[in-house]
Structure 1
Amino acid sequence: MDMHSITPIAAFDVEKGKATAIGGGPLDLNASQGYRWIHVNSQDEALRPWAKEHLPDIAARALWQSETRPRCERLDDGLILNLRGVNLNPESDPEDMVSLRMWITEHAIVSARIRKVWALDSIRQSAEAGAAPETAGEFLAELTYGLTSRIETVSLGLEEQTDELEEAIAEGRRIPTGKLGDIRQAVIKMRRFINPQREAISMLATLENWIIAPDELALLRETANRTRRIVEELDATRDRLSALRDHIDADRAHALSRNSYVLSVVAAIFLPLGFLTGLFGVNVAGMPGTTAPSAFWVLAGVSAVGGLALFLIFKFAKWL
């Protein structure tokens, strides 16, 4: 009899594609036919003692690790599989990816998560309706396909946002402050996990002569190829965003340099005029024109002619 029990998020016995919910009472991993799927919250305090009782030590500890990266590792007759999915939960950023930890054998699947993984929840909803993948191998193929499809949708969304930024910059329109940086940060966050996930799914697709049938391996290989394309698209999007950032920085530097140059030319024109007007503005005896009624207009005319002469000199010298 079980020494420890756990309250799962969901638990099903699956036989020939028909899912039956498991009622209350202690749970073990013994399925008479087909396989048993137990889905739990990795933060459940009852998980540790239950997992230590029913799973190999390494597989048990993998279920509640605080930080995980996608991995695929054979262990005895089972498999440790960690995957990531985009975060489609309300008020969450998709690139803040959710983790899924799993232990898989021919007749048992244990999955653990903290936040809802929508690809897995789709399988759960189908199981509640009475239908589920017929084998553990088909379960893995369907799960990885669902995860990858949702990741691909988010990746294409980031690519479209990058297209819009390029069009805005090409048309000379201003882009919202921080928009480019937000998209680039999202791309970096996603790629951090998608690349190791590609490796994990690729490794999973090589597990021949195990519990995964040839047609399921073919679907896994296709999923691995799609994941590889997603990584390449994220790399391309990241490079495009870097090029846009360089273009914006170059435009700003050019505008600043142009403004500084114009100010320097204006200062060069008005500096001698300022000296002239300052010289005639000193209040000392002997200043010429102090008693002449037209002295001010003469000084103003000389200043205007001098300013125009300096402007023409700069113009012919191609400084303007």
Structure 2
Amino acid sequence: MARVLSPLAAFDIAEDGRASPVAEDWPVAAPRAGARWRWLHLDVTNPAMAGWAAEHLPEVAAAALSQPETRPRCGALGAGLILNLRGVNMNPGQESDDMVSLRMWVGEALIVSARVRKVFAVDALRQAALAGHAPPTPDAFLLRLTEGLTDRIEAVSLALEDATDTLEEEIFDHDRFDADALAPTRRKVIRLRRYIGPQREALNRLAQSPLPLIGPEIRPMLAETANRATRAVEELDAVSARLAALQEHVNAELAARMGRNGYVLSVVAAIFLPLGFFTGLFGVNLAGIPGTAAPDAFTILTVTLSALGLGLFALFRWRKWL
């Protein structure tokens, strides 16, 4: 039975950026004659991927492509690179902070990328290749890929910063608190920071890689992309600190409100406690209760209790307890 890999995208790319689709059912790990390099983009859930990777790639690289869970990293393996990155999840109906993983093996004339969920930065490169504007070299591919991933991360980071500005305005300026907005925003920032921090380190290592597949003209631009990732991490740290301060302010305000409400209830209870005592005492149905035969007894009791209540209220005001 013929083996079929069925990649998500497969191109042989020339020096001028023109891309030719790879038609092989079981492609080799090298470009055809006349092409500068080959890009194969695979689906991790494809059962054929593990067998193809084990046959054509170094053992460690093949295992890295098939890992079910990954974190951003960049490591040299012989003359190639194992590179894992994360991208903002822009798939419909999914949360942007549930970042999608991209696994890659990068060689001098071959890039193999693999994913579980769609990575839009990779899809943009696929569309560029179809239009005849593919990156002419593997290092140029890495530059455009990391720029695309970082652009989307910065957009989400800016949106979270704007959301935090809105929360601060609502809480500090208008004294309105939306618990349903604060907690999810904090959770998004924490989840993004979890992956973007290691990604910053991975991009720095990529920019500083001594391997010759990273050309001298690409290296400073990769360093700039790593610097942008560092700024995104710093912005997320600042947003996280602001959200933590908002949460502390809200908690303090809620505690103060509960304290004030409890104090008011305590004062009201202190005023009505003696009144309740006397009304209970005179309300027992026993012989000998004074005033039962006097027609003005109820009026006298009402006036007396009212005066007592007003007196207690005046006392609390005088002592500045109210």
Give your verdict on TM over 0.5.
Answer: yes
TM-score range normalised by the length of the shorter chain: over 0.9
**How far did residue 226 of structure 1 move?**
0.6
**How far did residue 209 of structure 1 move?**
5.3
For the residue of structure 2 that corresponds to 1:194, the secondary structure is: helix
The one-letter code sitting in structure 1 at the alignment partner of 2:231 is: R
The one-letter code sitting in structure 1 at the alignment partner of 2:37 is: Y
> Residue 22 of structure 2 corresponds to which residue in structure 1?
22
The one-letter code sitting in structure 2 at the alignment partner of 1:197 is: Q
Could you give the per-residue CA deviations for residues 194-217 of structure 1, whole angstroms, max 9, x where no partner exists? Answer: 000000000000124511222211
Q: Distance in 2 between matches of 1:208 and 1:286?
A: 105
Question: Which aligned pairs between 1:2-151 and structure 2 lie closer than 5 A?
Answer: 5-16=4-15, 17-31=17-31, 32=33, 33-151=35-153
**How far did residue 283 of structure 1 move?**
2.3
For the residue of structure 1 that corresponds to 2:293, the secondary structure is: coil
Q: Distance in 1 between matches of 2:217 and 2:319?
A: 77
**How far did residue 141 of structure 1 move?**
0.6
* Contact 1:72–1:81 (Cα < 8 Å) also in 2: yes
Structure 1 stretch 285-294 or stretch 155-164: which is displaced more? 285-294
* Contact 1:4–1:49 (Cα < 8 Å) also in 2: no
Q: Give TM-score scaled by structure 1 length.
A: 0.96
> Residue 158 of structure 2 corresponds to which residue in structure 1?
156
Structure 1 runs not aligned, ≥5 long: none
Aligned-pair identity (%): 53
Could you give the per-residue CA deviations for residues 189-247 of structure 1, whole angstroms, max 9, x where no partner exists? Answer: 11111000000000000124511222211111111011001111111111111111111
Question: Which aligned pairs between 1:92-241 and structure 2 lie closer than 5 A?
Answer: 92-208=94-210, 210-241=212-243
For the residue of structure 1 that corresponds to 2:162, the secondary structure is: helix
> Residue 283 of structure 1 corresponds to which residue in structure 2?
285
Structure 1 stretch 208-217 or stretch 152-161: which is displaced more? 208-217
Q: Distance in 2 between matches of 1:204 and 1:102?
A: 13
Q: Distance in 1 between matches of 2:277 and 2:92?
A: 68
Q: Distance in 2 between matches of 1:171 and 1:207?
A: 49
* Contact 1:84–1:100 (Cα < 8 Å) also in 2: yes
1:257 matched to 2:256: no
Q: Distance in 2 between matches of 1:220 and 1:298?
A: 91
Q: Distance in 2 between matches of 1:209 and 1:260?
A: 69
The one-letter code sitting in structure 2 at the alignment partner of 1:20 is: S
Q: Distance in 2 between matches of 1:70 and 1:47?
A: 21
* Contact 1:4–1:50 (Cα < 8 Å) also in 2: no
* Contact 2:3–2:25 (Cα < 8 Å) also in 1: no
Q: Distance in 2 between matches of 1:194 and 1:217?
A: 20
The one-letter code sitting in structure 2 at the alignment partner of 1:234 is: L
> Residue 316 of structure 2 corresponds to which residue in structure 1?
314
Structure 1 stretch 271-280 or stretch 24-33: which is displaced more? 24-33
* Contact 1:6–1:46 (Cα < 8 Å) also in 2: yes
* Contact 1:141–1:219 (Cα < 8 Å) also in 2: yes
Q: Distance in 2 between matches of 1:94 and 1:197?
A: 16
For the residue of structure 1 that corresponds to 2:218, the secondary structure is: helix
Structure 2 runs not aligned, ≥5 long: none
Q: Give TM-score scaled by structure 2 length.
A: 0.96
Q: Distance in 2 between matches of 1:110 and 1:213?
A: 19
Structure 1 stretch 281-290 or stretch 62-71: which is displaced more? 281-290
**How far did residue 249 of structure 1 move?**
0.9
Could you give the per-residue CA deviations for residues 272-319 of structure 1, whole angstroms, max 9, x where no partner exists? Answer: 111122222222223222122111111111111111111111111111
* Contact 2:12–2:22 (Cα < 8 Å) also in 1: yes
The one-letter code sitting in structure 2 at the alignment partner of 1:7 is: S
Question: Which aligned pairs between 1:265-280 and structure 2 lie closer than 5 A?
Answer: 265-280=267-282
Q: How many aligned residue pairs are there?
A: 318
For the residue of structure 2 that corresponds to 1:215, the secondary structure is: coil
* Contact 1:18–1:132 (Cα < 8 Å) also in 2: yes
Cα RMSD (Å): 1.3
Q: Distance in 1 between matches of 2:234 and 2:203?
A: 16
